[in-house]
Structure 1
């Protein structure tokens, strides 16, 4: 078992978002995301709920035509199917996110 430092940056220059999957199973995917300075993403509309947490820096998201600023320690649940994108991210330090992608329907095998 090796410890993971969630604030350690990748060793290469950033010109696009970099994703590291930390945990994955049929119900959840946990990713660490490092955004380049002043990053702007394409729109997303995902089939699962996504909970994001800012570990370092700052990011501004556009969610359903509303801009939301998230700083260190701020988190947000983005429901499945909600259009969203990153408008911009901090320059120094880089914005580091923790993202949980949650299955929208978990079948209980006992009561199914």
Structure 2
């Protein structure tokens, strides 16, 4: 069994997200993600449902063009084939996420 600490220091982000796969299963993948300050992602539109939880910091997501402001502790289910994008993330503390992709 592998040991992983969600709050352990991460390498410098260099304006890129740091994503670690915590679990890969036939029906799900769980990712730990740390976003750099003021990060804006590409537009995503995955074939699977995605559940996200913001563990620390703040973030703004655009989901089908509607803005969603998230703070630490907020969770959100993004249905499959729904366009979404990270618009902005906090600097202190950095935005830290758990993301679960559900494969049916």
2:31 is the alignment partner of 1:31? yes
Shift of 1:92: 0.7
Aligned residue in 1 for 2:94: 94
Structure 2, unaligned runs of 5 or more: none
Contact 2:13 2:35 in 1 (8 A): no
Quote the residue 1:7 is aligned against: 7
1:78 deviates by: 0.1
Deviations 1:32-76 (A, max 9, x none): 001000000110000000000001101100001100011111000
* Separation in 1, partners of 2:43, 2:13: 24
Alignment partners' CA distance in 2, 1:2 and 1:89 = 29
The ranges of structure 1 where at least 4 consecutive aligned residues each deviate by more than 6 angstroms after the TM superposition are: none
Instruction: Answer yes or no: is 1:22 the counterpart of 2:49.
Output: no
Structure 1 partner of 2:68: 68
Instruction: Output one character per residue of 1:65-97: Cα deviation in whole Å (capped at 9) or x when no partner.
Output: 100011111000000000000000001111000
The aligned length equals 104
- TM-score, length-normalised on structure 2? 0.94
